[in-house]
C-alpha cells in the first residue's frame, strides 16, 4: 500500500502527512508537482497537503489546479483511489472541480472564500485564523475514504490555520444536494456537537458550518482542519488531558487510519 503526498511550490506539512501515513502502516513518498504525472498510477492513494501553493497567487489553490499533475489526479480519482485534500489541498481540489464533483464534468461549483467571522449578526473579525476547533462527523461510516472508520456524530478536535475557508456557492440547490447525498463530511461545532452558525464555533463563516466535503463516490475528501497536526497526542494543546496520557493518540490519526482501511476494503 503506497501513498503519494503531493508537493507543490509553497506546500506545507507534507512531511507531517507522510509521517502520519507511515505511522498507520502505509508506505509513502513525496510526489513533486513537476514529476512525470504518469508515475501517479503506481500509488494507491493521494494526500494533497496544506500550505500556500504558488503563494496563493490570484486565489488559494487556483494556480496549482492548472498543473498537469492535476489531470493525472483526476484520472486516479476516477479509478476510485482515495484522495484527501487538507486546507490548501482542499482549496486545490475545489478549484480543479474534483470537489464537490456533482457536475461530473470538472466544473468549479463552489469557492473557499476569505474568512468572515460573525457574532451576534456582526462581523467581528476577518482573515487568517489559527485555533483548535471541534468538528462533527456528519457522514455515515464507510461513506468517505478519509472518514471510513469514523462513526456518524463523532467529534474530533483538530487545528485549523487558514484565511480562505469560507465555503460559498452560487449553484442553486448544491448545499441541499450535498446534504441529501451525505457529501457533507465534517461541520464545525461546539464541544457538545452543536453546529452554532456564529463565531467562534463557525470559525470562518462557512455555509452551514461545513468544514469538509467528499465527492459523490466518496473517495475524494477535502477538509480545512489539519489532521496531521493532531496525529500524535503530544501535538494536542496543553489543556487536553490526552496530551500526557501514556498510549493516547491524537484525533487526527483517524483520518489516516480511515484512508488505510478504505484502501484495504477496496482491494
Partner 1 sequence: MSTINLRVWLIIPDAEAATVKNTLIRRMGCGDILADVKKERLFSIDVDSGDPEVLAKAFAKELVNENKESHKVLIDTLSFEGAYVPVKVSLHIEDGEAISTRDRLRNRLGFKNVMSVKKATIWKLYLKGDDKERAAKEIAEGLLINPHKDSYEILSLAEDASLSR
The residue ranges that bind partner 1 (CB under 8 A) are: 54-55, 57-59, 62-63, 66-68, 95, 108-111, 113-114, 116, 123, 126-127, 168-171
Q: What is the DSSP string of 168-217?
A: E--STTHHHHHHHTT-EEEEEE-TTS---SSTTTSSS--GGGEEEEE-TT
Of 211, 176, 179, the C-alpha closest to 195 is 211
Q: Tell me the closest approach of the beta carbon of residue 66 to partner 1, in angstroms.
A: 4
Residue number, 55 or 78, with CB nearest to partner 1: 55
Told to judge if 226 belongs to the known catalytic residues of this protein, a careful annotator would answer yes
Q: Tell me the closest approach of the beta carbon of residue 86 to partner 1, in angstroms.
A: 20
Residue number, 104 or 238, with CB nearest to partner 1: 104
Q: Tell me the closest approach of the beta carbon of residue 233 to partner 1, in angstroms.
A: 36
Q: Where are the beta strands (DSSP E) in the chain?
A: 2-7, 27-32, 45-48, 83-86, 111-113, 116-119, 122-126, 129-137, 155-162, 166-168, 184-189, 210-214, 220-223
Distance CA 256, CA 174 (A): 28
Q: Tell me the closest approach of the beta carbon of residue 47 to partner 1, in angstroms.
A: 22
Find the catalytic residue in 13, 14, 16, 87.
87
Distance CA 166, CA 197 (A): 12
Residue number, 53 or 157, with CB nearest to partner 1: 53
Residue number, 27 or 55, with CB nearest to partner 1: 55
Q: Which residues, 6+ apart, have CB-to-CB distance to 170 below 8 Å?
A: none
Q: Is residue 146 classed as helix, strand or coil in its secondary structure? A: helix
Give the side-chain half-sphere CA count within 13 A for 142.
3
Q: Tell me the closest approach of the beta carbon of residue 178 to partner 1, in angstroms.
A: 14
Told to judge if 239 belongs to the known catalytic residues of this protein, a careful annotator would answer no
Residue number, 2 or 66, with CB nearest to partner 1: 66
Of 114, 89, 99, 66, the C-alpha closest to 16 is 89
End-to-end Cα spacing for the chain: 10
Residues involved in catalysis: 87, 226, 228
Amino acid at each position: 500500500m503506497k501513498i503519494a503526498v503531493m508537493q507543490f511550490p509553497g506546500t506545507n506539512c507534507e512531511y507531517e502527512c507522510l509521517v502520519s501515513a507511515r505511522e498507520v502502516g502505509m508506505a509513502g513518498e513525496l510526489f513533486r508537482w513537476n514529476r512525470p504525472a504518469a508515475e501517479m498510477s503506481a500509488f494507491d492513494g493521494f494526500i494533497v497537503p496544506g500550505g500556500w501553493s504558488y503563494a496563493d497567487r490570484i486565489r488559494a489553490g487556483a494556480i496549482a489546479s492548472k498543473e498537469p499533475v492535476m489531470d493525472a489526479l483526476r484520472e486516479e480519482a476516477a479509478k476510485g483511489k482515495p484522495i484527501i485534500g487538507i486546507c490548501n489541498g482542499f482549496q486545490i481540489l475545489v478549484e480543479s472541480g474534483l470537489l464537490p464533483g456533482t457536475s461530473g464534468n470538472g466544473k468549479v461549483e463552489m469557492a473557499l472564500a476569505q474568512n468572515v467571522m460573525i457574532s451576534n449578526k456582526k462581523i467581528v473579525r476577518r482573515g487568517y485564523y489559527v485555533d483548535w476547533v471541534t468538528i462533527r462527523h456528519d457522514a455515515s461510516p464507510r461513506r468517505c475514504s478519509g472518514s471510513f472508520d469514523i462513526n456518524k456524530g463523532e467529534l474530533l478536535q483538530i487545528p485549523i490555520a487558514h484565511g480562505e475557508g469560507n465555503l460559498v456557492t452560487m449553484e442553486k440547490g448544491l448545499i441541499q444536494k450535498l446534504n441529501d447525498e451525505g457529501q457533507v463530511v465534517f461541520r464545525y461545532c461546539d464541544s457538545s456537537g452543536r453546529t452554532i452558525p456564529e463565531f467562534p464555533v463557525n470559525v470562518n463563516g462557512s455555509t452551514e458550518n461545513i468544514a469538509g466535503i467528499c465527492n459523490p463516490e466518496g473517495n475524494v475528501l477535502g477538509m480545512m482542519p489539519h489532521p496531521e497536526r493532531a496525529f500524535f497526542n503530544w501535538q494536542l494543546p496543553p489543556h487536553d488531558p490526552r496530551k500526557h496520557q501514556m498510549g493516547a493518540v491524537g484525533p487526527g490519526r483517524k483520518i489516516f487510519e480511515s484512508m488505510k482501511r478504505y484502501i484495504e476494503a477496496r482491494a
